[in-house]
A = this chain, B = another copy of it.
Amino acid sequence: MRNRALRIISGLGGVTAIVAITPSIGFAQEVSETQAILDNIWVFIAGCLVFFMQAGFALVEAGLTRAKNVVNIFAKNVADAIIGILAFFCSGYALAFGGGNDFFGTDGFFLTGLDINELGGSGVMNLSHGTFFFFQAVFAATAVTICSGAMAERTKFGSYLIFGAVMCAVIYPVVVHFTWGGGLIANISIGDAVYSDFAGSGVVHMTGGVAALVGAFLVGPRRGKFGDDGKPRAIPGHNIPFAILGVFVLWLGWFGFNPGSELAADNLVTGIALNTMLAAAAGGLATAALIWFKTGKPDIAFIGNGVLAGLVAITGPCGTVTPLISVLIGAIGGVIVVYSVLFFDKIKIDDPVGAISVHGVVGVWGVISIGLFAKFDDAFLGRDDAGLFYGGGVEQLIVQLLMVLIIAAWVGIASFVVFSTLKATIGLRVDDEEEVEGLDVPEHGMAGYSADPAFV
């Protein structure tokens, strides 16, 4: 998101000022009410697209796993939306964007004391609290959903819900406060360089990916994933159409995720969308070419993950690079995801859908790519002259690496504490019998697919 605007938040209650949009061409400069409304309507529509990503995540996860767990997977994804929204309402929004200290905000719990409808009332560009909360809450739901995929097919439903609530209520909001909320990471500067992560390769995806890694490690691999010889065995997904439909839904949703993170309706929105579109296509193409070359087959599950890798990679840099560089960043993301999936198979971390690789590893790549490529040439989405986002050079790369380390440390430790506590108390994993039978009937009392009964 735009650092500048977010930096000026001094607390959700204390609205500062409506930030005038700096137009790049010679139209009238005043911010009209219509412009402010357009900003809010656009960001809300973008939020709707991001909300719909929940359906995409559910479809990808369900498609790449087994039929006997499909109810559980859809239940988790519905729960993510429910819990994400309510947890963000109770505490997440306040911790993320409230005034406070370097680590978390301390006001705005339950949105109390905030005017929901005042244009610019959030202190973030022209957005009202209604708009800004909507957009941020669907981001939070996204972050937790990433864990769902990596821990699929063997995690207790209740334990997952508790982790999800903590994630949306505390862990993720603190990461947001560190960065877009003006806290710890936002206050790092080396020379002119301050961190940049436009729509959250790090803040959202790497955060989800790190928690997913911790969760997948602690819950252990699925029965049968690794043979007696220690080699990974393929556990085929039960419904490839679902998985690829999910990829399309996520790709669509990302046109809200990235362009919406501009937090305003201005002339830069569609350039960001263009970068997003190109990186996704490049990620898919790179993965396709690599996997086709390596295995002789264009594996469609991998290609889908390649598209998602391109999208995760460009999430951070989408506002600060050219279209051509977007193609490059996406393509490298598509290559990374292949090797990353193979790597986690090798070290026996079982991630049924590749979420750790797609969101975690490629999320890191997205953050770093900003240090490497932003301001690569003059076109630069018209922002280099404003000097808002990017100091450039080695300093920038160091700041980006520090950002990666801080997020990894916080999310890694916090999720380790939560998952370990769950493991030591109510348990993180279903028992063997339930895992073999599938989670659907034991945990939810119904099968995902029922043959027509005979009694009628």
Contact = CB atoms under 8 A, between A and B. Distances in A.
B44 A41 contact: no
A413 interface: no
Nearest to A442: B297
A382 B116 CA distance: 9
Given A248-B55, A274-B133, A303 B117 contact: no
A247 interface: yes
A131 interface: yes
Contact of A224 (B68, B242, B453): B453
Nearest to A455: B224
Interface stretch (A29-37, A182-190, A340-348): A29-37
Most chain B Cβ neighbours within 10 Å, of A68, A119, A130, A272: A130
Residues of A in contact with B, size category = 35 or more
B37 A116 contact: no
Interface stretch (A45-53, A193-201, A210-218): A45-53
A83 B303 CA distance: 13
Given A24-B118, A270-B128, A452-B67, A52 B82 contact: no
A397 interface: no
Nearest to A452: B66
Given A38-B38, A241-B74, A273 B444 contact: no
B269 A40 contact: yes
A278 interface: yes
Interface in A242-276: 242, 244-245, 247-249, 251-252, 255, 259, 265-274
A367 to B, nearest CB: 23
Contact of A130 (B133, B273, B298, B455): B273
A238 B70 CA distance: 12
A299 interface: yes
B55 A249 contact: yes
A134 B74 CA distance: 32
A222 interface: yes
A89 interface: yes
Contacts of A249: 55
A244 B78 contact: yes
Contacts of A71: 240, 300
Given A52-B252, A300-B446, 20 more contacts: A24-B118, A24-B119, A36-B267, A40-B270, A41-B269, A78-B284, A78-B303, A79-B288, A81-B248, A82-B284, A83-B281, A86-B281, A111-B324, A116-B379, A118-B267, A134-B270, A224-B455, A233-B455, A295-B445, A299-B445
Interface of A: 23-25, 27-28, 31-38, 40-45, 47-49, 51-52, 54-55, 58-59, 62, 66-68, 70-71, 74-75, 77-79, 81-83, 85-86, 89, 110-112, 115-120, 128, 130-131, 133-134, 137, 157, 222-224, 233, 235-242, 244-245, 247-249, 251-252, 255, 259, 265-274, 277-278, 280-282, 284-285, 288, 295-301, 303-304, 307, 322-324, 327, 379, 381-382, 435-436, 438, 443-453, 455-456
The 5 closest A-B pairs by CB, nearest first: A27-B33, A297-B445, A224-B456, A55-B248, A130-B271
